[in-house]
Amino acid sequence: MSDPRKISRPRTVNQILIDRSIRHGIYLVRLAGGEANWTDSQMASVRRAVTKTITPLLSELNEGGVISAADEALMNEAATRGSEAVTELLERLSGESLKRLGKIAIAEADFEKRLLSKAFPIEMNFNTPSDRFLMSLMETEPIAGKSMRQWFSDMKIQTRTAINDQIRQGMIEGESINEILRRVRGRRENGFKDGIIGRVGENAKSIVRSGVMRASNRARNAFHMDNIEVVKGFQWILTLDDRTCSICVDAESQNPYLPSNYPEAPAHIGCRCVVAVITPSWEELGYDFDELEPGMRASMNGEVPDTMTYQQWFEGQSAETQMDILGQSRYDAFKNGADITSFADRGQILTLEQLRAMEPDLFS
């Protein structure tokens, strides 16, 4: 089999699928960043609601470090009302996120259909899972063992305890009411990231980022299962950067996966790995190999491409693609001999519409 480091352009269907799955994975990371930014924008209303709710109660606390029974009651009430405000808004955020992920799932099933249709050397009539089914997957399929609604529900419970603990700690340390309030809402000079609500927002962003990767993998797998006759197996593609974890390394070591053993991606919160389908050979599909043209024979050999690192894949891309992924400064560093270790990119974000526009050969 050819050395993947010397492959400048994919030759077989499976090489095409690996190549485009890695590229699409980069765009998915950008889309996940866009969804995380949207989530962050929603958290501003959570911060304002909690501040408005608990400020009158905090103003009644006795400053000085001694917590009276009346202070205890006020702290409990502030924690309860604050968590109720968070709960209301997180429930809305959870529901809206699921709708957005449903749209992503529908788009990802469509992407996989277009990708296989383009990669196959003959016209194929692929089945497509229904939009309703794909939307339902977002409600039921877990991310690292929990549904999205469960993750958000746990956040609500944790928020109440955290608000109570921070108010109590501020009282014990003799802080002013404004200082205690900052513990909850965060400090403006830090972008409100250092308060309880900021930490809730960061957790929500991580869940939503992972939700995007889950939506993609579940939708593409649903498409594969509806077209199982052209599926020989799957290949886990590592992000291969300095944040790659042992869970994902272990998942990659089990390549290739059988159709009955679809790898569970994302493997954890924050996972950015992707899964590519492996197609059978012409003979495995039941075609008379001898009657096929030489070019068609070579395109469907059923072989699993050698494991390709991100560095190897990147070096095989056009200069335009490399520049788009890295941006000018990192591209210059690469041209001067720097290794490319990040599967993600220079931090660009995408909307769902922009994601489609990034791959015009499939969606034109």
3-state secondary structure 45-108: HHHHHHHHHHHHHHCCCCCCCCCCHHHHHHHHHHHHHHHHHHHHHHHHHHHHHHHHHHHHHHHH
> Taking 50 as the threshold, does the pLDDT of residue 276 lie above it?
yes
Task: Establish if 144 belongs to a structural domain.
Answer: yes
- Where is average pLDDT lowest: 197-206, 244-253, 265-274, 286-295? 286-295
CB-neighbour burial class of residue 347 (10 A; exposed 0-12, middle 13-18, buried 19+): exposed
Mean pLDDT of 184-210: 88
Q: How far is CA 113 from CA 94, 184, 273, in A?
A: 29, 47, 20
What distance in Å separates the CA atoms of residue 274 and residue 13, rounded to the nearest whole number? 18
Task: Establish if 363 belongs to a structural domain.
Answer: no
Residue 8: pLDDT band (50, 70, 90) is very low
Task: Establish if 224 belongs to a structural domain.
Answer: yes
pTM for the structure as a whole = 0.85
Q: Look at residue 148 and give its three-state secondary structure.
A: helix
> How much is the pLDDT for 90?
82
> How much is the pLDDT for 166?
87
Mean pLDDT of 180-206: 87
Ramachandran angles phi, psi of 252, nearest 5°: -65, -30
Task: Establish if 45 belongs to a structural domain.
Answer: yes
> How much is the pLDDT for 278?
92
Contact 196, 184 (CB under 8 A): yes
Run of H or E including 235: strand 233-237
> Taking 70 as the threshold, does the pLDDT of residue 295 lie above it?
no
What distance in Å separates the CA atoms of residue 127 and residue 134, rounded to the nearest whole number? 14
> Taking 80 as the threshold, does the pLDDT of residue 292 lie above it?
no
> Taking 80 as the threshold, does the pLDDT of residue 332 lie above it?
yes
What distance in Å separates the CA atoms of residue 242 and residue 174, rounded to the nearest whole number? 43
> Taking 80 as the threshold, does the pLDDT of residue 296 lie above it?
no
Residue 7: pLDDT band (50, 70, 90) is very low
Cα 345 to the chain's mean position, in Å?
14
Task: Establish if 67 belongs to a structural domain.
Answer: yes
Rounded mean pLDDT of the chain?
83
Q: How many domains does the chain have?
A: 1
Ramachandran angles phi, psi of 234, nearest 5°: -140, 155
> How much is the pLDDT for 170?
84
Q: How far is CA 142 from CA 76, 131, 262, 269, 303, in A?
A: 33, 19, 14, 11, 32
Task: Establish if 362 belongs to a structural domain.
Answer: no
Range of the domain at 236: 4-357
Q: Which residues touch 15 (CB under 8 Å, ≥6 apart)?
A: 7, 305
> How much is the pLDDT for 1?
42
What distance in Å separates the CA atoms of residue 47 and residue 50, rounded to the nearest whole number? 5
> How much is the pLDDT for 294?
64
> How much is the pLDDT for 161?
85
Side-chain-side CA neighbours of residue 125 (13 Å): 0
Quote the DSSP letter at residue 291: G
Task: Establish if 201 belongs to a structural domain.
Answer: yes
Give the residue carrying structure tokens 């919160």. Answer: 269
SS3 content of the chain, % helix, strand, coil (to 5): 65, 5, 35
> How much is the pLDDT for 354?
87
Mean pLDDT of 139-157: 82
Encode 64-79: b = buried (16+ Cβ within 10 Å), e = exposed. Answer: eeebeeebeebbeebb
> How much is the pLDDT for 289?
63
Residue 111: pLDDT band (50, 70, 90) is very high
**Bigger pLDDT: 250 vs 303:** 250
What distance in Å separates the CA atoms of residue 159 and residue 359, rounded to the nearest whole number? 41
What distance in Å separates the CA atoms of residue 27 and residue 355, rounded to the nearest whole number? 6
> Taking 50 as the threshold, does the pLDDT of residue 197 lie above it?
yes
CB-neighbour burial class of residue 181 (10 A; exposed 0-12, middle 13-18, buried 19+): buried
> Taking 50 as the threshold, does the pLDDT of residue 2 lie above it?
no
Residue 241 Rama label (left phi>0; alpha psi -120 to 50; beta): beta
Task: Establish if 346 belongs to a structural domain.
Answer: yes
